[in-house]
Amino acid sequence: MNILLLTYSFNYNYGGLLQAYATVKYLESQGHSVTVPKSHPAYLVGNTSLFRGLGLRRKNPLGSVLRRLRQFVRYKRFDSFRSLLPIDPSLSSKEAIARSVVRFDAVLTGSDQTWNTKFMPSYEPYFYQGFIAKGPLKVSYASCFGTRQQKEEILVQAAKDLGDFDHIAVRNEVSREIVERLTQNDPAVVVDPTLLHDFNELRIPDEVKQHHPFIMVYALDVDNFVVAESIVKEVQVRQPGIEVHFVNGEKNFEKPHWATHLVNSYGPAEFLASMQEASLIVTDSFHGLIFAQKFAKPCIGYSSGWRSERIVSIMSDFDASDLLLLDGEPANVKIVVSKVMEKGARLQLGAALQAKISASKAYLATALSNA
């Protein structure tokens, strides 16, 4: 089947690009031909280039430019990794896609926060496929709203386009509830596509791994830095002198005072390599947690606020809710660090999650066999 994939293929977020890569890899392994357009929704244009979203209207535009330029290598490595995707440069707009859609048997949206209306200033039908005429199957896989807090006036407009999908599967219970409310249909809940692909081609042989101990911190929310710091300090009580590598993402933070190194140069492949070499991973990232489990690394998750719903969900899937910190209460931090560092607690791919992965594969097989 010829499939057009609408997803976060254009940005500079580790999880976003790696889930796009995993989706392509899995679909191709099932015998499908996949095409990724070069286009993107207009409201996300700031995520599409080193020179977009520079913050030139801020109080210190020169400082904003200099901060972005320190990530030049990171952006180049993302672009290099992106070249592994089957991107069609002729599909550079919604109009170009609409003209060429007869080439495809199905258009698939997902995964990641493709349906999060919080990012939209007004309704944009791109990921809702509202600009695509009837013809190919309209399918979603692991699409997500990200949080319950959505823009209701935009959801009202999205409801009709959602109703035109032939098959809908979402990434979590929150998204299922929203879709059910809007369409009166109960969608399937499936796993993130990074759980469908083994990433063996990006694993590092043990003999070439670095062996000096370090904590890898990948943090998305500055408001939760205090929790990450409390975890790091508790680990350092047990392992004095262990280095802390703070891996910067799109947020482009300054180095926290408790970190040893600020890493601005990782692309997706280097990000995964660092995860495999780390002694411990500390993260509030949904995909960070998935890759920690995939590489069987000691990991402590933390979160609060609007991101926490996704983090709570995936940690429950990994039978690791007791390794998740939703606050920086010292007693709770001590308990979780002790479980991971002294008792060997890990994120688990248990029977329930294995069954969910199998059901997710079955959903795709069914949805993509009905052209």
DSSP state of 89: T
pLDDT in tens, 268-327: 999 999 999 999 999 999 999 999 999 999 999 999 877 788 899 899 999 999 999 999
Tell me the pLDDT band of 205, cut-offs 50, 70 and 90. confident
First CA to last CA distance, the chain = 8
Tokens found for residue 28? 């191709």
Tell me the pLDDT band of 55, cut-offs 50, 70 and 90. low
Whether residue 231 is found in the same domain as residue 137: no
Q: How far is CA 16 from the centre of its chain?
A: 4
Whether residue 229 is found in the same domain as residue 174: no
Q: Alpha-carbon distance 136 to 167, whole Å?
A: 12
Determine contact, residues 262/279, Cβ cutoff 8 Å. no
Whether residue 294 is found in the same domain as residue 335: yes
Whether residue 208 is found in the same domain as residue 166: no
Tell me the pLDDT band of 64, cut-offs 50, 70 and 90. confident
pLDDT, mean of residues 103-132: 95
Phi and psi at residue 217, to the nearest 5°: -110, 120
Whether residue 165 is found in the same domain as residue 217: no
Number of domains within the chain: 2
Whether residue 194 is found in the same domain as residue 314: no
> Which of the two residues, 240 and 66, has the higher pLDDT score?
240
Distances (CA, A) of 63 to 70, 74, 183, 259: 11, 18, 47, 22
Q: Report the percentage of the chain scoring pLDDT > 70.
A: 98
Q: Alpha-carbon distance 14 to 291, whole Å?
A: 11
Helix (H, G, I), strand (E, B), or coil: what is residue 198? coil
Would you say residue 56 has pLDDT above 70?
no
Would you say residue 118 has pLDDT above 90?
yes
Whether residue 212 is found in the same domain as residue 83: no
Whether residue 164 is found in the same domain as residue 125: yes
pLDDT in tens, 73-116: 999 999 999 999 999 999 999 999 999 999 999 999 988 899 99
User: What does the mean pLDDT of the chain come to?
Assistant: 93
Whether residue 218 is found in the same domain as residue 180: no
Helix (H, G, I), strand (E, B), or coil: what is residue 247? strand
Q: Report the percentage of the chain scoring pLDDT > 90.
A: 81
Whether residue 163 is found in the same domain as residue 80: yes
Q: Alpha-carbon distance 61 to 360, whole Å?
A: 46
Looking up residue 128, the CATH number of its domain turns out to be 3.40.50
Looking up residue 293, the CATH number of its domain turns out to be 3.40.50.2000
Crossing angle for the helix pair 14-29 and 286-294, to the nearest 10 degrees: 50
pLDDT, mean of residues 184-189: 96
> Which of the two residues, 209 and 312, has the higher pLDDT score?
312
Whether residue 58 is found in the same domain as residue 77: yes
Whether residue 207 is found in the same domain as residue 312: yes
pLDDT in tens, 219-232: 999 999 999 999 99
Q: Is the pTM of this model over 0.85?
A: yes
E strands in 219-359 = 243-247, 261-263, 280-283, 299-302, 324-325
The enclosing H or E element of 227 equals helix 225-238
Structural domain containing residue 56: 2-198+355-367
How long is the chain?
A: 371
pLDDT in tens, 148-182: 999 999 999 999 999 999 999 999 999 999 999 99
- Buried b / exposed e across 150-184, counting CB within 10 Å, b at 16+? bbeebbebbbebbeebebbbbbbebbbebbeebbe
